Amino acid sequence: MTTTTRAWQFHETGGPEKLELIDHELPPPGPGEALVRFEAIGLNRADLLELAGLYFGPPPSPSFLGQEASGVITELGPAIEGEAPAGGYEPAVGDRVGLMVGRIDHRGMGTYRTAAVFPQKTLLPVPEALSADEGAGFFLATLTAVAGLNVGHLTPASADGARVLVTAASSGVGVVTLQAARAMGAVTIAATTAAAKAERLSDLADHVVVAPTPNDLVEGVAAATGGAGVDLAFDPVGFDYAEALMQTAAQDGHVVVYGLLSGMEAPLDLRTMIFKDLGLHGFTVHRIQRDRELLDEVVGTTLSLAERGGLRPIIADRYAFEDAPKALEAMARNQHFGKIVLEVNE
């Protein structure tokens, strides 16, 4: 039997005004698939980029949107033998699940909808302590955080006392990166462009640097570390902060760049990189799909940090599902702290 879902779709690229709400028929789940009824949907900066046609090339027309949600499995198709689930999870009807980043076709079955049919291997169990809203904002940001720290040589085994700088600290990813690094034992430094967010960040980090300019970042990190610099800088801002990031790094430190919030090109003085023996890393969370060992390690670390209370998304704002364009406009204004979610009430 088919299921009717309501879904946000767009025919041409642009801003949130391009989205239209339609009815979309879902087939019953086939072999290796599951029908999931959504309770909440997580927004990501990538959704704005995709809508603008700036994320992995121009999307087809029409196209759906969204990579994150939490919901309850209501129907399972027959399992496919030999298909290894991520982190050993075996889906069951009634489970509350979230989505493994990079495994869904968001253009064909984006999560801005009320229900979806997904491959079972895309599903992960939402940690019991989390609400539906928190579950909707959990996996994409936390897997990005834990895998990105790992690329920068920060793991539970190596983190004790390491100094970690997180820029765009109030972003959905920034907040959980601070939590993850702290839970692993690192000394954390949160950098934000917004002075108004400093007080809330001081609950999450050992030091807060308000850095509306690259020079503020360099000076603030030097003050926070007594001039020693950081062992790892984790950054989605790029562009004119890139050189400053290298200056914040300690000798033999690592800089992981995972976003381009302020622009794609960066003027760099390569002497800083050479004289400090820095590791400069580009990172996308899609790496975990190419490396099975890393995937299982990162999923295991993420779920175990969450179970111990060390990882919990901060929900910035909740919007009704029908107000998705308004929620995206709010995200573009950058006033939020943590994750924006849509709630589904049907």
Ligand X SMILES: NC(=O)c1ccc[n+]([C@@H]2O[C@H](COP(=O)([O-])OP(=O)(O)OC[C@H]3O[C@@H](n4cnc5c(N)ncnc54)[C@H](OP(=O)(O)O)[C@@H]3O)[C@@H](O)[C@H]2O)c1
Q: What angle do CA 330, 332, 265 make, to 5 degrees?
A: 165
Q: Which of 45, 163, 182, 254 binds ligand X (CB under 6 A)?
A: 45
Q: In this chain, which stretch among 15-23, 30-38, 90-98, 259-267 interacts with ligand X, using CB under 6 A?
A: 259-267
Q: Smallest distance from the beta carbon of 236 to ligand X, in angstroms?
A: 4
Q: How many residues bind ligand X (CB under 6 A)?
A: 25
Q: Smallest distance from the beta carbon of 29 to ligand X, in angstroms?
A: 28
Q: What is the 3-state secondary structure (H, E, C) of 37-49?
A: EEEEEECCHHHHH
For residue 291, the cross-strand partners are none
Site membership for ligand X, residue 165 (CB under 6 A): no
CB-nearer residue toward ligand X: 16 or 172: 172
On the 0-12 / 13-18 / 19+ scale of CB atoms within 10 A, 303 is buried
Q: Smallest distance from the beta carbon of 54 to ligand X, in angstroms?
A: 10
Q: Smallest distance from the beta carbon of 44 to ligand X, in angstroms?
A: 4
Site membership for ligand X, residue 169 (CB under 6 A): yes
Q: Smallest distance from the beta carbon of 89 to ligand X, in angstroms?
A: 21
Distances (CA, A) of 67 to 99, 110, 203: 8, 6, 29
Site membership for ligand X, residue 258 (CB under 6 A): yes
Site membership for ligand X, residue 173 (CB under 6 A): yes
Place of tokens 């027959």: 78
Site membership for ligand X, residue 149 (CB under 6 A): no
Distances (CA, A) of 250 to 143, 147, 320: 25, 21, 45
- Looking at residues 211 to 250 of the shown chain, list those that interact with ligand X (rule: CB under 6 A): 236-237
Q: What is the 3-state secondary structure (H, E, C) of 194-252?
A: CHHHHHHHCCCCCEEEECCCHHHHHHHHHHHCCCCCEEEEEECCCHHHHHHHHHHEEEE
Place of tokens 């990882």: 311
Q: In this chain, which stretch among 8-16, 88-96, 180-188, 193-201 interacts with ligand X, using CB under 6 A?
A: 193-201
Taking a C-beta distance cutoff of 8 angstroms, is the pair 103, 119 a contact? yes
Rule CB under 6 A: which residues touch ligand X? Answer: 44-46, 144, 168-173, 192-194, 197, 236-237, 258-259, 261-262, 283-285, 331, 334
